Each structure stands twice: as structure tokens, then as C-alpha cells.
Structure 1
Amino acid sequence: MPQLNPSPWFAILITSWLVFATIVLPKILTHTFQNSLSSLSTNPILAEPWNWPWF
């Protein structure tokens, strides 16, 4: 059963992770967002109770 022989599959796994770590990962980590992710206001939201006209 060739599926149980780990030598070719382990080499493919290690090679693919090395390619991912050396090429793809730095490109993802250097990505910057165009919009800042800060909140719009720092004032707390004042919640008011609802007036239910049908109750």
C-alpha cells in the first residue's frame, strides 16, 4: 500500500510549508489596510428606553 509510505508525502509537505513560509507569508504580513481601524467616537452611547405605544 503506497499510501502508508510517508517518505514522498513528508517531503512534499515540508517543501510546500517552506514555500509558504518564505514566499507567501511575508507578502501577507506586509499588507497594509487603507482605512484605519480606529473607532469613530469615544463618547459612550446613551441608551434610552423604548416607548411601546401598543402596550
Structure 2
Amino acid sequence: MPQLNPAPWFAILLFSWLIFLTIIPTKVIKHITVNEPAPVSAKKQETQPWDWPWQ
């Protein structure tokens, strides 16, 4: 039965995991964020009520 021969499929599995674990993470890490996150102040901002002019 040829489906029980693991030789070609095992090599494909190893090479695909090699690509997933080495090449792809380095390409993803190289991307930079366009807007760096700004530090959030601890002071809570007060909100103003908004009156709907048409009611």
C-alpha cells in the first residue's frame, strides 16, 4: 500500500515546518508599526454630555 510509505510526506512535513519556524517569523518581525503607541496618562478625562439638537 503506497499510502503507508512515510518517506515523501515526512520530508514535506519537515521542510514545511522548517519554513514556518525560520523564514516566516523573520519576515513578520521585520515589519514595523506605522503609528507607535503613545503612553496613556493615568488621569481620567471628563466627558461632556452631548445634547441632541433635534429632539
Partner of 2:30: 30
How far did residue 25 of structure 1 move? 1.6
- Cα RMSD, aligned residues only: 2.6
For structure 1, the residue ranges without an aligned partner over 5 or more in a row are 48-55
How many residue pairs get aligned? The number is 47
What does residue 15 of structure 2 align with? 15
Q: Which runs of 5+ in 2 are unaligned?
A: 48-55
Question: What TM-score, normalized by structure 1, do the two folds share?
Answer: 0.53
TM-score of the superposed pair, with normalisation by structure 2 = 0.53
Deviation at 1:17, TM superposition (A): 1.6
